[in-house]
Amino acid sequence: MNRIPAFGLGTFRLKDQVVMDSVRNGLELGYCAIDTAQIYGNEAEVGEAIAVSGVPRSDIFLTTKIWTENASRSKLVPSLKESLTKLRVDEVDLTLIHWPAPDHGTPLEEFMSALADAKTQGLTKQIGISNFNIELTKQAIDVVGRENIATNQIELSPYLQNRKLVAFLREQGIQATSYMTLAYGKVLKDPVIGEIAKRHHATPAQVTLAWALQLGYAVIPSSTKRENLASNLLSQQLRLTAEDMAQIAELERNGREVSPEGLAPIWD
C-alpha cells in the first residue's frame, strides 16, 4: 500500500536562499511533497518557502528526519517540536529515523517507541525509517508493527539496486523511497542510460527516475535549477519498455555513494 507520494522534492545539501528558491520553484511547478531533515540545517528556510508559496498546507506532504543526537526518548519529541516550529507547521506528514546509528548508544527499541509516541501526540501523521538494513527493519517492525512503518528511505540507483532489501520491504508492505537515484549525477553519463534516453527523446535523468517509479519506488530528486525541476517531473509520464528495464537491471555494481561510519548498518 502506497501511503506516501511517489514523487517529491529533496533538499539535501541545499541551504539558505538556494533551498528557498528550490522549494518555491518546485511548489510552483506542481511538486506536492517536500523532504528535509534536522541535519540538513534548512528546515526554517523550507518552512518559510512553504509559508510564502500560497500553496495550502493540506496540499503539501512534508517529511523530516530525526538526527542521531536526538534519537533518545528524552530528546526525540522535543527535537521534533523544534522542527515543527522551524517548519511553521503543527505537524508533519512523515517523520523518519534518519540513520540507525548503531554506535551512537540509543537502542533501536527506544527510538522507535519514542517515534511512535510522537505520532500518538499528533506531531506527525506517519512514521518510518531511513537507511535500515533487513535485520534492523525487522527489529523496527517488532517494536511498532509493519503497518506503522510508512517507508524505508534508502539509497537506490541503477548502480545500487539493493534487490534483497527491496524484496523484503515489498513482502512487508513497506514503501521503498529512493534517494541518490542519480548516484550524484554519475548515471547521467552512463552510455546505456543515454541510449535509452535517445530512444525515448528524453533526458538521462528522466529515464533514471522513470526506472525507479516503474519499480514502485517513491523518488525525491533535488535540483537548484527550475528547468531541471520541471524536466524531472516529466519522468512520471515516461514509460520504459521491458527491454529498457532489463538493460538498466544489468547496470548493478553495488555502487554505494553514502555510508557514513558509525551511522550506517552492515548493508545487505
Give per-residue pLDDT as tens, 156-194.
999 999 999 999 999 999 999 999 999 999 999 999 999
Segment 129-147, tens digit of pLDDT: 999 999 999 999 999 999 9
Mean pLDDT within 221-249: 98
The predicted model gives 229-235 an average pLDDT of: 98
The answer on pLDDT for 110 being more than 50 is yes
In this prediction, residue 2 carries a pLDDT of 43
266, part of any domain? no
Query: Cell for 260?
Result: 557514513
Domain contains 1 = no
Looking at the structure of the chain, the number of domains it has is 1
Q: Between 226-233 and 204-214, two packed helices, what is the crossing angle to 10 degrees?
A: 40
Residue at 172 is within a domain: yes
Instruction: State phi, psi for 54 to the nearest 5 degrees.
Output: 85, -5
Instruction: Report yes or no on 195 lying in a domain.
Output: yes
Mean pLDDT of the chain: 97
Residues 80-90 as b/e (b if ≥16 CB within 10 A, e otherwise) read beebbebbebe
Which CATH number belongs to the domain containing residue 220 in this structure?
Answer: 3.20.20.100
The answer, yes or no, to whether residue 231 has pLDDT greater than 60, is yes
The C-alpha cell that represents 68 in the structure block: 542521531
Provide the pLDDT for residue 150.
Answer: 98
267 occurs within a structural domain: no
In this prediction the pTM is 0.97
Q: How confident is the model over 111-117, as a mean pLDDT?
A: 98
In a domain, 192, yes or no: yes
The answer to whether residue 40 is catalytic is: yes
185 located within any domain: yes
Provide the residue range defining the domain that includes 123. 9-249
Burial class (CB in 10 A: 0-12, 13-18, 19+), 73: middle
Q: What is the pLDDT of residue 102?
A: 83
Residue 89 has pLDDT above 50, yes or no: yes
**Average pLDDT in the 5-10 region?**
98
Q: Which residue has the higher pLDDT, 83 or 3?
A: 83
Closest CA to 164 of 192, 137, 130: 137
Residue 138 included in any domain:
yes
Question: With 50 as the cut, is the pLDDT of residue 116 above it?
Answer: yes
The residues near 4 (Cβ < 8 Å, ≥ 6 apart) are 33, 61, 63, 93, 94, 126, 150, 151, 175, 177, 218
Alpha-carbon separation of residue 43 from 40, 64, 142, 227, 255 (angstroms): 7, 8, 31, 24, 30
What local confidence, expressed as pLDDT, does residue 7 receive?
A: 98
Which of 40, 159, 179, 217 is an active site residue?
40
First CA to last CA across the chain, in angstroms?
24
